[in-house]
């Protein structure tokens, strides 16, 4: 409740470009129109988003911001519950969970329409289920009396993992962590490995349901064929970004990664995470090994992904790092004699980052959309370029029904055949270049230039 209260007070009032939130307009549009968003489709997140977008409060963008806040707070609760099951003192569990809540990267994503706190929620659910599974014979008796394959603890862990991957595919990198943490259970058998895999497959089924999402083609693909389905769910459009950062930029990105990690739990908290992993290695080597492997894999992917916002891919991994932080806090508590000393970390993060993260007065997108649409003539063909502007205008038309007379055509997406087919279906016109819509449909031609509308 404390973390949610903070998120509520700092929540963006509508669509926001802050905190790398440019994709929010695409998610809101997909939620309101029934289409899929950009690849890989994020089916579990979109199922939740479609429900929240129709809440009778404010506008749909704010409702998706609220979803992020609830998922973030839910992650914090699951992490705290997991730490209690692992034997942490209540103050230590509270301190570690709230440190996650107010880590600036995690906090920033809980305030906007994005997928990362929802992905973190299912990671947290998997952590909780895995810890419960390791105790199922001693403290979780309802699991011990379940004899069938699909109600075994390992199946539920795999299911939570599969749902996390159905929010964001990069969470496939969690495979070594789940395997190592489940192997630590004295009740784990080879058959549980199959149960883990079966749960994963069930959790991935939402991807199979994506072709049912409205009529085709859509801006991001055409799923009427197996090849088209695979192009979307494998995010083929973005393959060129993975591990494509030029080697000359790796030192700079590594420094940015180190600074980002130091900011999340404070430098002192970062040292406690390292200490906790060392202590965890001595006590539960398989858990520590899985934690390290996942963190290294996700970090390398985020560092090597050639976009400015790639480090947000680390958000769903932060709940795993809290296991190490809790171990470090326990070590400190034993030496100072009182366990509430760890609350210094979340309190410092809360005070220090409030001003820079608070989006409660962020109306930049609304102001830009109103100005842009006011400059656009009636029935114009407006050529856009870039996710941020295009998605914001999509959101204005689909969620707020502003200026439906304007035909928006994104020049970047025009390179993709499904998008050209989608626009042709909307207009009844098939043209070679988007500028031709103005002449064939006898409409004014305008374009965005340096965020201003220019109508030659």
The confidence score (pLDDT) of residue 107 equals 98
pLDDT at position 183: 67
* pLDDT on residue 345: 94
Indicate the domain borders of the chain.
2-218+228-357, 364-454
| Contact predicate 95/291, CB 8 Å | no
Global confidence as pTM: 0.94
Tokens 């500028």 correspond to what residue? 435
| pLDDT, position 149 | 45
Tens of pLDDT, residues 99-140: 999 999 999 999 999 999 999 999 999 999 888 876 654 444
Give the β-pairing of 381-384 and 452-454: unpaired
Residue 129 has a pLDDT of: 87
For residues 327 and 322, give the distance between their C-alpha atoms in angstroms, rounded to a whole number. Answer: 9
All residue ranges of the chain with pLDDT < 50 are 137-150
Comparing CA positions, the residue from 286, 278, 272, 358 lying closest to residue 95 is 272
Decide: 413 and 394 in contact? Cβ < 8 Å. no
User: What pLDDT, on the 0 to 100 scale, is given for residue 138?
Assistant: 40
Alpha-carbon distance 261 to 126, whole Å?
23
Q: Report whether the peptide linkage leading into residue 167 is cis, meaning its omega lies within 30 degrees of zero.
A: no
Contacts of 153 (CB under 8 A, 6+ apart): 129, 130, 132, 133, 136, 140, 143, 192
pLDDT at 144: 41
**What pLDDT was estimated at residue 151?**
54
């Amino acid at each position: 409740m404390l973390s949610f209260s903070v998120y509520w007070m700092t929540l963006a009032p509508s669509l926001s470009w802050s905190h790398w939130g440019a994709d929010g307009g695409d998610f809101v549009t997909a939620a309101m129109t029934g289409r899929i968003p950009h690849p890989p489709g994020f089916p579990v997140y979109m199922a939740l988003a479609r429900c929240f977008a129709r809440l009778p409060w404010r506008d749909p963008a704010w409702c998706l911001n609220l979803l992020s806040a609830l998922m973030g707070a839910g992650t914090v609760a699951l992490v705290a519950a997991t730490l209690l099951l692992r034997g942490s003192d209540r103050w230590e569990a509270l301190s570690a969970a709230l440190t996650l809540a107010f880590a600036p990267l995690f906090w920033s994503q809980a305030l906007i329409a994005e997928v990362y706190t929802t992905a973190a929620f299912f990671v947290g659910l998997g952590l909780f289920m895995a810890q419960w599974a390791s105790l199922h014979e001693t403290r979780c008796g309802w699991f011990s009396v379940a004899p069938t394959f699909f109600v075994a603890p390992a199946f539920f862990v795999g299911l939570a993992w599969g749902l996390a991957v159905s929010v964001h595919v990069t969470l496939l990198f969690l495979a070594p962590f789940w395997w190592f943490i489940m192997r630590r259970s004295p009740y784990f058998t080879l058959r549980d490995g199959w149960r883990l895999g079966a749960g994963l497959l069930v959790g991935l089924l939402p991807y199979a349901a994506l072709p049912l999402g409205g009529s085709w083609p859509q801006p991001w693909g055409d799923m009427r064929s197996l090849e088209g389905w695979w192009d979307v769910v494998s995010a083929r459009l973005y393959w060129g970004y993975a591990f494509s950062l030029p080697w000359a930029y790796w030192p700079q990105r590594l420094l940015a990664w180190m600074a980002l990690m130091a900011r999340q739990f404070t430098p002192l908290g970062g040292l406690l995470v390292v200490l906790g992993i060392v202590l965890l290695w001595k006590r539960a080597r398989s858990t520590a090994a899985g934690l390290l492997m996942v963190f290294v894999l996700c970090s390398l992917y985020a560092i090597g992904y050639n976009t400015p916002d790639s480090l947000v891919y680390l958000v769903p991994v932060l709940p795993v790092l809290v296991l190490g932080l809790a171990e470090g806090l326990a070590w400190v508590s034993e030496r100072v004699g009182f366990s509430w000393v760890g609350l210094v970390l979340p309190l410092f993060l809360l005070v220090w980052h409030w001003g820079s993260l608070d989006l409660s007065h962020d109306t930049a997108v609304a102001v830009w959309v109103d100005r842009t649409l006011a400059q656009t003539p009636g029935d114009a063909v407006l050529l856009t370029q870039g996710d941020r502007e295009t998605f914001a205008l999509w959101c204005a038309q689909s969620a707020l029904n502003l200026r439906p007379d304007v035909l928006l055509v994104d020049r970047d997406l025009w390179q993709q055949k499904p998008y050209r087919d989608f626009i042709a279906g909307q207009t009844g016109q098939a043209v070679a270049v988007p500028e031709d819509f103005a002449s064939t449909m006898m409409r004014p031609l305008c374009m965005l230039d340096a965020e201003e509308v220019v109508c030659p």
